[in-house]
Amino acid sequence: MNATASVPGQHGATAGGPQVGRALPRTEDVRFLTGRATFVDDLKRPGQLHAVVVRSPHAHARILGIDATRALALPGVVAVYTWGDIASIAQPIPIRLAPLEGFERYLQYPLAKDRVRHVGEPVALVVADDRYVAEDALDLVDVEYDTEPPVTDVHQAEADGTLVHPDAGSNIAARYTVSRGDPDGGFSRAPYRRRETFRCHRQAALPMETRGLLAEFDAMQRVLRIWGAAKVTFFNRRWLAKVFSMEESAVELLELDVGGSFGVRGELYPEDFLVPFAALSLGRPVKWIEDRREHLLATNHSREIECTLEIACEADGRFIGLRGRVLGDLGAYVRTNGGVVPAKAAQFMPGPYRMPDCEFEVLALMTNKTPVGTYRGPGRYEANFFRERLIDLAAADLGMDPAQIRRINLIGPDEMPFPSGQLCPYEPAIEFDTGDYPMAFERALAETGYGEMLKAGNVAADGRLLGVGLACFVESSGAGPSETGRIKARPDGGIDLFTACSASGQGHETVMAQIVADVLERPVEAFTLHHGSTTLVEFGYGTYHSRAVVVGGSALHRAGEKLLAQGRAWCAQHHGIEPSMIDYRAGRFLRRADPPAAGGEPAPLHPGTFAEIAALADAGDTSAAAAIEAVAVFEVKKRTYTYGTHVAQVAVDPETAEVELLRFLAIEDIGRAVNPLLVHGQAIGAAVQGIGATFLDELVYDDSGQLVTGTLADYLVATATGFPNIEVITLEAHPSKLNPLGVKGAGEGGIVATGAALGNAVAAALAGLGVKITDLPLSPERLARAMREARTRAGAN
Amino acid sequence: MEIKGERIIPAKRPVVWAALNDAGVLQRSIPGCETIDKVSDTELNATLTLKVGPVKARFKGNVKLVDLMPPEQYTIVGEGQGGVAGFGKMKATVTLLEVDGGTRLNYVADAQVGGKLAQVGSRLIEGTATKLAQEFFDAFEKNVVATGGADASDETPAPAAAAPAAEAPEAPMPPAAANQDPIGAVPKWVWAAGAVAALVIAMFITGMRG
| DSSP string computed for A647-684 | EEEEEE-TTT--EEEEEEEEEEE-S--S-HHHHHHHHH
Binary contact (B119, A706; C-beta < 8 A): yes
Cβ(A744)–Cβ(A670) below 8 Å: yes
Query: A129: which DSSP letter?
Result: S
Whether B2 has a pLDDT exceeding 80, the answer reads no
Nearest to A663 by CA among A787, A757, A596, A549: A757
Whether A208 has a pLDDT exceeding 90, the answer reads yes
Sketch out chain A's domains with CATH numbers: 9-37+480-635 (3.30.365.10)
Q: Which of B86, B114, B120 sits opposite A711 (nearest CB)?
A: B120
Beta-bridge partners for A652:
A465, A659
Cβ(A761)–Cβ(A648) below 8 Å: yes
pLDDT one-digit tens code per residue, A467-506: 999 999 999 999 889 999 999 999 999 999 999 888 888 8
What pLDDT, on the 0 to 100 scale, is given for residue B119? 83
Q: Which of A702, A704, A710 sits opposite B120 (nearest CB)?
A: A710
Cβ(A112)–Cβ(A33) below 8 Å: no
- How many Å apart are CA A668 and CA A654, to the nearest integer? 33
Q: pLDDT band at residue A32, thresholds of 50, 70 and 90?
A: very high
What pLDDT, on the 0 to 100 scale, is given for residue A601? 83
Q: Which of A139, A297, A702 sits opposite B83 (nearest CB)?
A: A139
- How many Å apart are CA B82 and CA B62, to the nearest integer? 12
Binary contact (A708, B118; C-beta < 8 A): yes
Cβ(A423)–Cβ(A652) below 8 Å: no
- How many Å apart are CA B90 and CA A420, to the nearest integer? 54
Nearest to A334 by CA among A148, A174, A199, A207: A174
Q: In the Cβ-directed half-sphere of A661, how many Cα atoms lie within 13 Å? A: 29
- Best to test chain A binding among B58, B89, B91, B119 (most A CBs inside 10 Å): B119
Q: pLDDT band at residue B20, thresholds of 50, 70 and 90?
A: low
What pLDDT, on the 0 to 100 scale, is given for residue A670? 97
Nearest to A497 by CA among A544, A546, A537: A537
Helix axes A676-695, A754-766, angle to 10 degrees: 50
Judged on CB neighbours under 10 Å (0-12, 13-18, 19+), A11 is middle
What pLDDT, on the 0 to 100 scale, is given for residue A1? 38
Task: Work out whether strand A357-366 and strand B2-9 pair parallel, antiparallel, or are unpaired.
Answer: unpaired
Count of residues making up chain A = 797
Q: Which of B84, B114, B123 sits opposite A704 (nearest CB)?
A: B114
Beta-bridge partners for A584:
A589
Task: Work out whether strand A115-116 and strand A61-67 pair parallel, antiparallel, or are unpaired.
Answer: antiparallel
pLDDT above 70 as % of chain A = 97
Q: Is A139 on the interface with B (CB under 8 A)?
A: yes
Q: Is A209 helix (H, G, I), strand (E, B) or coil?
A: coil
> What ipTM is given for this predicted complex?
0.77
Cβ(A146)–Cβ(A272) below 8 Å: no
Question: What's the gap in Å between the CA of B84 and the closest CA on chain A?
Answer: 5
Question: What's the gap in Å between the CA of A293 and the closest CA on chain B?
Answer: 8
Beta-bridge partners for A487:
A497, A630
Beta-bridge partners for A183:
none
pLDDT above 70 as % of chain B = 50
What pLDDT, on the 0 to 100 scale, is given for residue B84? 72
Cα separation of the two ends of chain A: 66
Cis peptide before A481 (omega within 30 of 0): yes
Q: Who contacts A351 (Cβ-Cβ below 8 Å, separation ≥6)? A: A383, A384, A387, A388, A472, A473, A474
Task: Work out whether strand A588-591 and strand A582-585 pair parallel, antiparallel, or are unpaired.
Answer: antiparallel
Nearest residue on chain B to A142, judged by CA atoms?
B83
Torsion of CA A520, A524, A530, A532, to 10 degrees: 120
Compute chain B's Rg from CA coordinates: 16
Beta-bridge partners for B202:
none
What pLDDT, on the 0 to 100 scale, is given for residue B145? 67
What pLDDT, on the 0 to 100 scale, is given for residue B107? 79
- How many Å apart are CA B50 and CA B34, to the nearest integer? 10
- How many Å apart are CA B134 and CA B3, to the nearest integer? 13
pTM of the model: 0.90
Binary contact (B112, A704; C-beta < 8 A): yes
Topology of B2-207 in CATH?
Answer: Alpha-D-Glucose-1,6-Bisphosphate; Chain A, domain 4 (3.30.530)
**Backbone torsion region of residue A361, taken as left when φ is above 0, otherwise alpha when ψ lies between -120 and 50, otherwise beta:** beta
Cβ(B21)–Cβ(B40) below 8 Å: no
Beta-bridge partners for B91:
B77, B110
- Best to test chain B binding among A53, A706, A709, A711 (most B CBs inside 10 Å): A706
pLDDT one-digit tens code per residue, A302-311: 999 999 999 9
Pick A644 or B179 by higher pLDDT: A644
**Backbone torsion region of residue A538, taken as left when φ is above 0, otherwise alpha when ψ lies between -120 and 50, otherwise beta:** alpha
Task: Work out whether strand A357-366 and strand A319-331 pair parallel, antiparallel, or are unpaired.
Answer: parallel
Whether B55 has a pLDDT exceeding 50, the answer reads no
Nearest residue on chain B to A143, judged by CA atoms?
B83
Q: Is A482 on the interface with B (CB under 8 A)?
A: no
What pLDDT, on the 0 to 100 scale, is given for residue A617? 97
Neighbours of A656 (CB within 10 A): 12
- How many Å apart are CA A585 and CA A593, to the nearest integer? 14
Q: Is A709 on the interface with B (CB under 8 A)?
A: yes
Nearest to A262 by CA among A476, A504, A501: A504
Sorted by where each begins, the domain ranges of chain B are 2-207
pLDDT one-digit tens code per residue, A335-373: 999 999 999 999 999 999 999 999 999 999 999 999 999
Looking at beta carbons, which residues of chain A come within 8 Å of B120?
A: 293, 710-711, 714
Query: The dihedral of CA A398, A402, A405, A409: what is its sign?
Result: positive
**If you average pLDDT over residues A181-200, what whole number do you get?**
98
Cβ(A93)–Cβ(A109) below 8 Å: yes
Pick A538 or A451 by higher pLDDT: A451
- How many Å apart are CA A497 and CA A580, to the nearest integer? 27
Binary contact (B84, A293; C-beta < 8 A): no
**If you average pLDDT over residues A69-83, what whole number do you get?**
98
Neighbours of A600 (CB within 10 A): 12
Cβ(A257)–Cβ(A31) below 8 Å: yes
pLDDT one-digit tens code per residue, B163-202: 333 333 333 333 333 333 333 344 444 455 555 555 555 5
Task: Determine which of A318-327, A385-394, B15-24 has the lowest per-residue pLDDT on average.
Answer: B15-24
Q: Which of A138, A139, A293 sits opposite B120 (nearest CB)?
A: A293
- How many Å apart are CA A695 and CA A752, to the nearest integer? 15
- How many Å apart are CA A489 and CA A497, to the nearest integer? 9
Cβ(A624)–Cβ(A441) below 8 Å: no
pLDDT one-digit tens code per residue, A214-243: 999 999 999 999 999 999 999 999 999 999
Cα separation of the two ends of chain B: 23
- How many Å apart are CA B72 and CA A410, to the nearest integer? 71
Task: List strand residue ranges (DSSP E) for A151-235, in order.
Answer: 172-180, 192-200, 203-204, 212-218, 223-227
Give the amino acid at A9: G
Cα angle, residue A399 at apex, residues A395 and A402 outer, rounded to 5°: 40
Q: Is A487 helix (H, G, I), strand (E, B) or coil?
A: strand
- How many Å apart are CA A210 and CA A292, to the nearest integer? 7
Task: Work out whether strand A301-302 and strand A203-204 pair parallel, antiparallel, or are unpaired.
Answer: antiparallel
Q: In the Cβ-directed half-sphere of A158, how many Cα atoms lie within 13 Å? A: 13
Cβ(A748)–Cβ(A302) below 8 Å: no
Nearest residue on chain B to A118, judged by CA atoms?
B115
Question: What's the gap in Å between the CA of A294 and the closest CA on chain B?
Answer: 10
Q: Is B35 on the interface with A (CB under 8 A)?
A: no
**C-alpha to C-alpha distances, A612 to A144, A589, A608, A618, A630, nearest whole angstrom:** 70, 11, 6, 10, 16
Cβ(A728)–Cβ(A688) below 8 Å: no
Q: Which of A57, A702, A714 sits opposite B86 (nearest CB)?
A: A57
